[in-house]
A = this chain, B = another copy of it.
């Protein structure tokens, strides 16, 4: 048996999220079908995935790992799998990893991007990949609010109900807003995420930019953990899991009792 790390890109539009579930086709299901065909191992399942992206959320850099007895050279995996995958899912990297590698537990940082399309008019070519906002935004105010959220904080106010994480303390290492033509990219990097955390941060910053929420309210939300002081959850189609950063071992030592990452939530 050996361990293979796979990097995945997918258009989440047609899927009920990444993770297998009884109702609806998922990315994991399609990936495992392809893995079984390629390895000839009829019961193969992925051993873990770095992020559990929600229905409609995309990825350019999702990471999974599999344990397999198949002897196909690792550089042949992408083409072999891509020939079996539907065109809205692709393997864009494969690497042999140590037997104890774990796509979720070894992840040190995940990077998500939420894309806004800011224009009076809709843009049909990017309608599945950017959230359309038709009014002007105060970018400076959005950046001031974003700066409040960087660092180690309790993000209880930026968490949808239904998540399973034990603690809502996370470390946001980057939160930047970058305009490019009519697009505005919100890039968020953290050691872990709570249920819908990026989409709630995106909604909060949007409301600040639109003058519907004050920076003081955002500070208060962070301080009190009151979900009502944060903004609404924006729709999934603007969100993309861009990259997962790994070190050469588990992100946290095994004796770490409060295993926040072990129960990391869907985005």
Contact = CB atoms under 8 A, between A and B. Distances in A.
A121 B8 CA distance: 10
A100 interface: no
Interface stretch (A122-130, A187-195, A220-228, A251-259): A122-130
Contacts of A11: 124-125, 127
Nearest to A94: B121
Contacts of A201: none
Nearest to A127: B87
A87 B88 CA distance: 20
A136 interface: no
A78 interface: yes
B124 A10 contact: yes
Given A87-B127, A127-B11, A127-B87, A93 B121 contact: yes
Copies in the complex: 2
A99 B136 CA distance: 34
10 contacts: A9-B122, A9-B123, A11-B127, A60-B125, A90-B121, A90-B122, A91-B121, A92-B122, A92-B123, A93-B121
Residue in A10, A11, A82, A119 whose Cβ sees the most chain B Cβ within 10 Å: A11
A11 B124 CA distance: 6
Nearest to A88: B124
